[in-house]
Amino acid sequence: MYSRAYKMLVSLPPLFWVGVFLLLPYALMFTHSFWAVREGFLVHQWNLRNYYTLLSNPVYVGVLFRTMRIAASVTLCSLLLGYPLAYYLSFHAGARRDLLYQLVVVPLWVSYLVRGYAWKTILGSDGVLNGFLQYLHLTHEPVAFLLYSPFAVVLMLTHIYTPFVFLPIYAALEHIPRPLVEASQDLGAGSLQTFFRVILPLSIPGLLAGATFAFVLSLGDFLAPLLVGGPSGTMIANVVQSLFGAAYDWPLGAAISVCILFITISLLFLTERLEKRWSFK
């Protein structure tokens, strides 16, 4: 029904734009990772040294593992907060459900930076939490370990990704046919048994989607460590950022970026597979 000219007219401009402003930049990132820096200048000499450095330097490997650990903790914490909340809304909230749903979504619209800043003012050594603890006479000296630690990074990112994790889980729970749950109860299964044998397995696709999202986005975050992480909370994206800035080693930075990209894409691929296996349609 659409003419050849129509099809050309709608596909050529976006193809051109995306080719120049997305494909080319990503391709440049890829090629940079095989180049080198000599005496402060970028030389287009193809080699694998950047990847070798990345894998053999214990500092980079250490930061990469710490980043994975932080991302895994964020994922776990967001699931522990987001799943029960979604379950409560879907099965127990009754008439208040729509209002509560909106209340979970609203913080998604609050600036990332603003929320990070808020945690900074709460956790600081002369911050709100320390003021509160001293007000209650629970402590007499400020507790200093709260801010500028991996803990603070996990806390801030968990706060940001809990609503993100909540959304797909809630959608999955809402799609579970209620007669299945009732059948399970009628056949004599207790609440716990119904949850673990019926509800949880059916909500796995939503759970996987939320978990992947939280993990992937935490993995590449460089702002939370700068805001609340301090030196002990440095993550892999901060290494990339400094290699592109003060340290001036774009090829090595590009190699690490390609590595992050590779982890991200393989995870997305893997969960797509798993989601298909667990979906009940």
For the CB of residue 201, give the shortest distance to another protein in the complex, in Å: 19
The CA–CA distances, whole Å, from 232 to 66, 108, 115, 222 equal 10, 28, 21, 13
Please give the helix or strand (H or E) that residue 92 lies within, else none: none
Count of C-beta atoms within a 10 Å radius of residue 198: 17
- Closest approach, Cβ 3 to another protein, in A, equals 6
In the chain, DSSP finds a helix count (H) and a strand count (E) of 14, 2
At a CB cut-off of 8 Å and minimum separation 6, what does 237 contact? 67, 219, 220, 221, 222, 225, 260
Contact present, 36 and 251 (Cβ < 8 Å):
yes
Of 149 and 257, nearer to another protein (C-beta) is: 257
- Give CA–CA dist 107/122, Å, rounded: 17
Closer Cβ to another protein, 56 or 245, answer by number: 245
Tokens representing 194?
């119904």
CB 275, min distance to another protein, A: 14
In the bound complex, what is the minimum distance in angstroms from residue 47's beta carbon to another protein? 18
Write down the least CB distance from residue 10 to another protein, Å.
Answer: 4
**Minimal distance, residue 27 CB to another protein, in Å:** 9
Nearer to another protein, 56 or 134 (CB): 134
Torsion, Cα of 2, 4, 9, 10 (10° steps): 50
Q: Give the span between the Cα atoms of 19 and 6, in whole angstroms.
A: 20
Question: Please, what's the b/e burial string for 228-266 (b: 16 or more CB within 10 A of its CB; e: otherwise)?
Answer: bbeeebbbbbbbbbebbeeeebbbbbbbbbbbbeebbee
Token pair belonging to 91: 């099965």
Question: In the complex with another protein, which residue's Cβ is closer, 56 or 70?
Answer: 70
Q: Kindly give the pairing relationship between strand 41-43 and strand 36-38.
A: antiparallel
Closer CB to another protein, 56 or 99, in the complex = 99
**Whole-number minimum distance, CB 213 to another protein, in Å?**
8
- Taking the least distance from each CB to another protein, the nearer of 56 and 141 is 141
CB of 256 to another protein, least distance (A): 10
Q: Which is nearer to another protein, 61 or 103 (CB)?
A: 103
* Closer by beta carbon to another protein, 59 or else 95: 95
